[in-house]
Structure 1
């Protein structure tokens, strides 16, 4: 009986290892000003990341006047496609969108005019996508400053005072009306929302310039498109951080972020979303990597990508 139990345990461990090794973590990011488009890196453990295609562009931007591809966000949709949104310009009222079956061949790039109804909208930065499996719909969300809507702090860079806005879609062709998603009375950008059991977890950047914040915080909600809590205490340290993205590996959250003043990446980890440990010294990242997002693909899909 003991031998049988031992054999079962060994088989279970082997199955667990095989299941884990079948997945590859992918990091979609940009470099410089985003003028050359999408870059991809991969990792097997979440800490050592290697650029694909000799760190050259996977997809060049074609939409909007500035033709940039900053802050790319890629998720795998319920339809099996990879859906991507990105920042097309420093000052525009829409975002970019494209889809792909294999991360190599992409659909025609489209401009989604999410803030055209706001005459005083100054920008649409760092869009992301989260999927609601229960309602079978996607939420796209981003940061915008609407001049005059919120009191501008003269000490904030260029008078920006962002809030998070969102639209809903089932097919990336028709969209709901744009709605305010997150406003807790402070300048907020770079939100990323992750389903976690019965709640959704929003990692966000508090962009407050004085008294200086420039850090990553957390808010939660029971519903994807409303009801988020006040922001938590900072989970990052005494440095300026932006562009959070996250993985959950074996019950441990890892939140990655751009230490943009230090020109390097950082990471913190937690098992309870309350107590955080800095693990930045474990990271190995491609040179010049900027704000991006992490997603997962199969080993089979990975083997087809250009190395």
Structure 2
């Protein structure tokens, strides 16, 4: 494991005051959690190591990471395509050494639930809690629209402070159509943006909505700001700009939009670079004390 720490700390360029981590996985998604790193949030390098392996027979897809007030990192992920009402979870103090994977049950009040996809972590610093959002299909629960009953998703959530006790599951967003892959962006106190995927055919593109609270309700759903066949957004703030990375799977590449206000978007996909095979996760600014600790431990 020290070898992993050494490689990762070098990749993070510990002498640089800024560094970002991008969680990643590779298809067929049974390999485990990877970490990409960057100095500028535009050009990303793979650490070439798997730092967390899922339980045998399960997958690790869509890894989402967040850090709490105590400095501990938490990651959640999709653990199965269908047939399970749970998602994966682990924690780490340094992004290198992780706890054994555990699996958190959800949707227990809905036994007909088809799937639990893309859990997304958000640390609500104003209320010292974590929000966990995911997409599930409950057949015949919502107006069918253009989607089959086993593919008509809505976004659900629950809250926790310690990943041991959880609030009851609640409906997070019903925009009137099938929706998955949601990520919360805090611009300032009482000002939040939700970036999510319209999963309806033939759209399958990204939209935004707005709220004065992290847990919503989110309203003013926008028109799509990406092309079709896009998913898995994550957002990183650099200065006054927000970069929205997404899986542009229709074009077999990773895309990136730049925005100042989540109303006007500029495609800068040609200005970013990611390792081949990278699949979507989330981006986290690496705290200075973790960066220095990882570096100094391997001198």
Distance 1:157 1:287, change over 3 A: farther
Aligned match for 1:58, one of 39, 51, 58: 51
Kept in 2, the 8 Å contact 1:152–1:160? The answer is no
Match of 1:269 in 2: 258
Match of 2:185 in 1: 194
CA distance in 2, matches of 1:302, 1:182: 39
State TM-score, norm by structure 1.
0.86
Match of 1:11 in 2: none
After TM superposition, what 4+ stretches of structure 1 lie above 6 angstroms from structure 2?
A: none
CA distance in 2, matches of 1:262, 1:176: 39
Structure 1 unaligned spans of 5+: 1-19
CA distance in 2, matches of 1:217, 1:122: 24
Distance 1:157 1:41, change over 3 A: farther
Kept in 2, the 8 Å contact 1:184–1:230? The answer is no
Distance 1:301 1:115, change over 3 A: farther
Q: Does 1:89 align with 2:80?
A: yes
Distance 1:304 1:279, change over 3 A: farther
Q: How does 1:7-156 map to 2 (within 5 A)?
A: 21-52=16-47, 54=48, 56-62=49-55, 66-91=57-82, 92-153=84-145, 156=147
After superposition, what is the alpha-carbon deviation per residue over 1:43-78, rounded to whole angstroms, capped at 9, x for unaligned?
Answer: 1111110000x2x42211017xx4111000011111
Q: 3-state SS of the aligned residue for 2:292?
A: helix
Kept in 1, the 8 Å contact 2:234–2:282? The answer is yes
Q: 3-state SS of the aligned residue for 2:21?
A: strand
Structure 2 unaligned spans of 5+: 1-14
Match of 1:9 in 2: none
How far the C-alpha of 1:304 sits from its partner, in A, is 6.8
CA distance in 2, matches of 1:97, 1:60: 11
Match of 1:182 in 2: 173
Bigger Rg over Cα = 1
CA distance in 2, matches of 1:265, 1:305: 34
